Amino acid sequence: MDVGEVGELSEIFQWKGEVPIGLPDWEEQEKLHLGEELSDVLLYLVRLSDICGIDLSKAALRKIELNAIKYPISLCKGSSQKHNQIKTSTETALDAAATDATTSNENGGL
């Protein structure tokens, strides 16, 4: 895969910052250029997966499943934290229990 194509795609967004859905502030020519670069990357990616013998659709579905495990909606919605920064409900409950036990011990077991 020509990584230069990925660089060209990244370059389009380099100075744009956060972009709203639908790119309402973009000129039509900018959107056409973006479509061309996205297509280049997609075609190279499909070709690379073919050369490597990777079923890209299966790999993508597997990745979605893995992400659902790493980033459960109930814990991650609205958060930008990495999976190793997110506490599961079990971890949160254990932390709360440990805090309660520590507080109880500091107060003489009261």
pLDDT, tens digit (0-9, with 9 covering 90-100), for 78-90? 777 776 777 665 5
Alpha helices (runs of H) in 15-88, residue ranges in sequence order: 28-52, 56-70, 73-76
Q: Is 28 left (phi over 0), alpha (psi -120 to 50) or beta?
A: alpha
Over residues 17-43, the mean pLDDT reads: 94
Q: Note the pLDDT tens digit of each residue in 43-74.
A: 999 999 999 999 999 999 999 999 888 888 88
pLDDT at 18: 87
Whether the pLDDT of residue 38 is over 60: the answer is yes
Q: Which of 33, 36, 32, 47 is nearest to 1 (CA)?
A: 47
What pTM value is reported for the model? 0.61
Domains annotated on the chain, with CATH: 3-54 (1.10.287.1080)
pLDDT greater at residue 71 or residue 106: 71
Q: 72-79: long-range contacts at Cβ-Cβ below 8 A with a sequence spacing of 24 or more?
A: none
